Amino acid sequence: MRLTAPHQDDIAMGYFGSKPWRNDKAADWYGALFEEYPLHQKIVATLSDNSTSAEEVRAAATLVIMLGHVFM
């Protein structure tokens, strides 16, 4: 297991940054996770429901911020 970013000469296809999610294997893992646990549906339902408390809206919005990184 590599704990540091690879040297420029070692960068293989599929590696596009030093963040834990910035490579193909991690992106695939996150994709499978979100297919198994469709958080987006829960977030949309929470933000769409007029009876949702402010605390729940804040929690859902926090997940959008934390998980809303763009890959490309």
pLDDT value at residue 2: 54
Q: Between 68 and 10, name the one with better pLDDT.
A: 68
Assigned domain for 58 exists: yes
Give 67 or 7, the one with higher predicted confidence. Answer: 67
Q: What is the pTM assigned to this prediction?
A: 0.59
Structurally, the chain folds into a number of domains equal to 1
Flag whether 35 is in a domain.
yes
Range of the domain at 24: 19-67
Q: Using the 8-state DSSP alphabet, how is residue 4 labeled?
A: S
On the question of pLDDT at 70 being above 80, the answer is: no
Per-residue pLDDT reduced to its tens digit, 2-48: 555 555 545 555 666 777 777 888 888 988 988 999 888 999 999 99
Q: How far apart are CA 55 and CA 1, in angstroms?
A: 39
Does 37 map to a domain? yes
Backbone angles phi, psi at 31, to 5 degrees: -60, -45
